[in-house]
Amino acid sequence: MISSRITIQPAPLLSVIVPTFKERDNVAELVRRLHLALVGVAWEVIFVDDDSPDGTADAVRALALTDARVRCVQRIGRRGLSSACVEGMLASSAPYLCVMDGDLQHDETILPDMLGRLTGQDLDIVVGSRYVAGGAIGDWTARRAWISRLATRISHLVVPPALHDPMSGFFMLTRPAFTASVRSLSSTGFKILVDLFASSPTPLRFAEVPYTFRSRNAGESKLDNRVAWDYGMLLADKLVGHLIPVRFLSFALIGGAGVGVHFLCLSLLMALGRTDFATAHTMATGLAMLFNFTLNNLLTYRDRRLSGLGWFVGLFWFVLACSIGALANVGIAIYLFKLDGGWPLAALAGIAVGSVWNYVATSALTWKKRSA
Ligand code: GDD
Ligand code: MN
């Protein structure tokens, strides 16, 4: 009888979650190394790939055909290291979860030690650390080392100072610890560990295991300037997100920079002396709107970014919405100014109402959420 031959296989003890973007040439080697490192442990590896154009997901599925410990979650039309890790963990049933890079830069030989500590001690999370005795950053440039140290220092606004390497993307945690914070995670950007520590309802009990960050052999790093912006937004969300939506904060910051662009353009045109004030002011307003639209499209709404024809349609709605915002701004400021004569307060109130209007109107008109 068939049924007598069915063997029931329980879920693995450990899921290794590996976010990937363009790592085709690294996945087979990573699986081979996990196999060697995790002898005697029931494990699986879940690659969460954001539809890499190099066919990483296909490479993973090809491996999975001969090794059921290998799984693939392929996300279409999505990007993001942190959110990939979160969704990988949600796709697993294992009681212990590990996150590691797919480019072989993290040292898989410390995995048994990390698991041993997590199962044997009263801990929620074990962090692979470059900044404790025995750990090292490998052959980083002085610039990157400096940036990492600075980011680490700033992170201590929201994570315990005793944690030496909150920037690490290499850690292992218990499922209850993950479940407790999953609904509070920001899930933006690269820094999932900072997010976990800052979102946990109770302080995480942690240990750090040293390792040396290896250099990459295949593919390239996806770390860029936007990662720094995302990191700032993650910290802002953790610090003030319960008071102000972080998207509004980003919108307002860019709006502030737009005022700078406006004045720069205006003073330049006035200094040249070929245009009258009204023309110069109109041109400066146009440039500032273009600046605001472009930056908001790149940063504030990077998850709903407009391109091609949509970019022009979006710009049209943006200019329309912001023109109404400007009218409201001026109207309210004049009204308040007439009431009690204090111009700074009247101006501020006008700006506040105008900004909130612009934010609400453009989020509904320009970057409206597509219904799925
Ligand atoms: N799914 C998905 N989506 N994966 C991504 C994305 C994305 O948008 N961007 C990057 N990854 C994957 C990469 O393919 C790689 O496996 C891993 O995330 C880390 O990306 P790298 O581009 O190699 O980052 P890094 O080496 O510069 O930075 C790493 O080291 C830092 C330590 O300073 C990351 O692990 C960071 O998390 C870590 O903090
Ligand atoms: Mn890397």
Measured in angstroms, how far is the CA atom of residue 105 from the centroid of ligand 2? Answer: 6
Which residue lies with its CA nearest to atom 26 of ligand 1?
Answer: 221
Residue among 156, 242, 243, 162 at smallest CA distance from 194: 156
Q: What is the mean pLDDT of residues 136-157?
A: 90
User: Percent of the chain scored above 70 by pLDDT?
Assistant: 98
> 351 to each of 304, 320, 333, 363, how far by Cα in Å?
26, 17, 8, 18
pLDDT-based confidence at 372, cuts 50/70/90? very low
Mean pLDDT of 197-218: 93
Q: What is the pLDDT of residue 4?
A: 63
**Of ligand 1's atoms, which has the minimum distance to the CA of residue 26?**
16
pLDDT band at 25 (very low <50, low <70, confident <90, very high): very high
Say how many Å lie between the CA of residue 223 and the centre of ligand 2: 8
Q: Which of 124-133, 167-176, 255-264, 276-285 has the lowest mean pLDDT?
A: 276-285
The answer to which of 140-154, 213-227, 236-250, 271-285 has the lowest mean pLDDT is: 213-227
- HSE (side-chain half, CA atoms, 13 Å) at 170: 25
Q: What is the distance in A from the centroid of ligand 1 to the CA of 31? A: 17
The answer to whether the beta carbons of residues 289 and 319 sit under 8 Å apart is yes
The rounded Å distance from CA 217 to ligand 2 centre is 10
145 vs 7 pLDDT, higher one: 145
How far does residue 167's CA lie from ligand 2's centre (Å)?
12
Say yes or no to pLDDT of 1 above 70.
Answer: no
Q: Quick: pLDDT tens for 37-61.
A: 999 999 999 999 999 999 999 999 9
Question: Hey, whose CA ends up nearest to atom 8 of ligand 1?
Answer: 80
Q: Given this model, what pLDDT does residue 10 score? A: 87
35 Cβ partners below 8 Å, 6+ apart? none
Q: How far apart are CA 193 and CA 157, in angstroms?
A: 14
| Ligand 1, pocket residues at CB < 6 Å | 19-21, 23, 48-50, 79-81, 84, 101-103, 105, 148, 167-169, 190, 221-223
Residue 167 has, within 13 A of its CA and on its CB side, a CA count of 21
Tens digits of residue pLDDT in 83-93: 999 999 999 99
pLDDT in tens, 252-301: 999 999 989 988 998 999 899 888 888 888 888 899 999 999 999 998 99
Give kind and range of the element (H or E) at residue 207.
strand 206-210
Alpha-carbon distances, residue 116 vs 80, 120, 196, 272 (angstroms) = 30, 6, 21, 71
